[in-house]
Chain A
């Protein structure tokens, strides 16, 4: 009797597992089709030979990957590091990091402000945060241009007030790119941080004050560890797209200094070297993956050990 029952249970469990898999199957197929397959195409293309007029020739080659890191001197063919690629990657990473830092600087107080409003009004504040998303990225970037260009709002205002005599050159600088990126990615930081702060039990802060914690100490040891998962999520959401940003650097930077995304575009377009473009894209994906794995290891458990 007993063994029969457990046998039946096992059967039931197996049926249950099967049912779950078959229910998940449509989602898994979609993921495989739209996420893994394109990536696989990119990986395959990075190992092929460039065609004469763009596209690829189905012939195995490591040249694409080789040129990501190395190059032969234009003049005498001596082998060296592709320092142009490395400096472009360095600039992209630095800019993405700076964007993450700035969105954090502006995003944290914003999220805090919203989360501490009465419950009834919070929805309206959140609604305001999402307003920029209603407009296309290109339009938003051009709007920012309008504000900072030589004949733009800020310069005209300062000239009119007599603060400056000649317009300040703000367009086509690294500062302009950073401003544009911060503006574009700010909501991606505010949303997860807000979600984390909203869940925060403010009685914990009161308890900290009761135990004579200073405001700063309370922020550092009580509030920050508890909202850290939100900050980490926000940073990842901002850093990853910022690293591959294309439109904003192109428009705000004036095209004089490339980002990784523009370099990829160059290889697929005028450069007619698709394998190198594919290898550059895959390297970006790999870098992001490594950064993610590291950050998950570092921040796993959301700082519970500190509390």
Chain B
């Protein structure tokens, strides 16, 4: 899945920040597109005299396929929380023990342990956010904290609704909307979810990583969307607001980890420790517009970002968060079939 909303295909952009021939060594970073602030790399490069290169991908599945193939020459990789088990199962991550690193204490208590890596023996936080719904409140002023925005759309929004093509997120939210649990193997619930989705489909304009300008220009007026991206759109068009479906929205954290076959292990360790520093974590937030899970980084964050409503999940809705997860293969197969029928 990809958190920025402009379609880059499988961009593999390599931004080389050469620090001259005297650099101490190298570090090769593998991250989502538009997810790495250039300033962060420059700072790291200067602080440790390391030559940094960045390669980008669009989806976790794409990244792991490349890493499995070997010969990639990469050192650190971004892994979404729900996808950590996939990496661990294949032994692709190095047990670098970030929990023993100098800056580990900076991690906010609620992020010091995550489902995929309870001890933080492999990963450190990059950013966290939610997947909910975004609505043009100029057109629809009803309650937006509901999945009905895309499952039973209000008249005013019909025909201009988008879904991000994150199969699991969409189906998980649908299952919770009809009172079932995500990744359930209950056939009755799954077929009910399929029927609801197929009946709502005629009201959607697209299932796409729609570009920001389509919302800003109001070609599209609602979307299943990511919190940070929604904030960027609100800054350009104040009519847009972000909601957390009360029946369930997705909460996720993306993490940075060292690869088992990394060649620049020492620099990679330095990098993990480096991004747990509040000032550096704030750089990442300012660039991606997501929260970062590092205590004390607020002091260095842009003022507009700190009070952005998209980052403050209302207290009453905090219990509705769905921890993003991987379903068992047999359930995943049913998810894929629902998705195929939905986009047939």
Contacts and interface: CB of A to CB of B under 8 A. Distances in A.
Interface of B is mostly: helix
A171 to B, nearest CB: 8
Given A269-B62, A272-B61, A74 B334 contact: yes
Contact of A54 (B65, B336, B337): B65
B338 A74 contact: yes
Interface in B291-344: 326, 329, 332-341, 343-344
A71 B337 contact: yes
Contacts of B85: 53
B341 A84 contact: yes
Interface in A118-134: none
A270 B168 contact: yes
Interface residues of A, number: 38
A240 B326 CA distance: 36
Interface of A is mostly: loop
Contact of B340 (A50, A151, A266): A266
B86 A258 contact: no
Nearest to B187: A75
Contacts of B165: 255
Contacts of A88: 340, 344
A152 to B, nearest CB: 10
Interface stretch (B176-184, B203-211, B226-234, B269-277): B203-211
A254 B205 CA distance: 7
B89 A267 contact: no
B68 interface: yes
Given A267-B336, A271-B333, A54 B86 contact: yes
22 contacts: A53-B90, A54-B86, A71-B337, A74-B190, A74-B191, A75-B191, A76-B187, A84-B340, A88-B344, A138-B9, A172-B206, A254-B162, A254-B205, A254-B206, A254-B208, A255-B207, A255-B208, A266-B167, A269-B59, A269-B61, A270-B167, A273-B332
Interface of B: 7, 9, 59, 61-62, 64-65, 68, 85-86, 89-90, 162, 165-168, 187-188, 190-191, 194, 201, 204-208, 214, 217, 219, 326, 329, 332-341, 343-344
5 closest Cβ contacts across the A-B interface?
Answer: A254-B206, A53-B86, A271-B336, A255-B207, A84-B344
